[in-house]
Amino acid sequence: GLPALSMLGVCDGVTFGQLCSGNPTNRIRGSDKWGVGHHGARRTGHTHNGVDIVCQDGATVYAPFDLTIERRARPYTDPKKAAINNGILARGQGVCFKLFYVAPVKVSGSVAAGQRLGVLLPMQQVYPGITSHLHLELCDQSDPTPYL
């Protein structure tokens, strides 16, 4: 099996390449009326277990490195959020991660670094005025920020 992600240090050299068109540095969402985008931010009823990478509605989402998509992954059970309730669980570079709010081009198989994973779903429909973003979460819910 794969080593547990918690065993990885930043020195292992895992770096997420560009995740979204228009955001070459994987800039993290700052504060808006809906909250803030960093790991560990408070949310209603829970803690934010990922980071929000700034990404415009309809923008292209890219594979940050060579990866294998394992399955579809959905952030919500609430039908009112159906417009953005999509994403993937993928592995690459010894890292397991989820990307939410993306309409994936496929939900299994390999994708090469820099290739199109999908498009960002219409966040403004569900959260008007939010800084639209891609949610990146490591499968062990540790902080992805050092890998960005």
| 3-class secondary structure, 125 | helix
Question: Which helix (H) or strand (E) covers residue 95, if one does?
Answer: strand 95-100
Of the options 2.70.70.10, 2.30.110.10, 3.40.50.720, 2.130.10.30, the CATH number for the domain spanning 31-147: 2.70.70.10
Distance, C-alpha 74 to centroid of its chain: 11
Tokens of 109: 């198989």
- The predicted-structure confidence for 5-33, as pLDDT tens digits, reads as follows 444 444 467 899 999 999 999 999 999 99
pLDDT band for 3, please (50, 70, 90 cuts).
very low
How do the domains of the chain map onto residue ranges?
31-147
Residue 2 has pLDDT above 90, yes or no: no
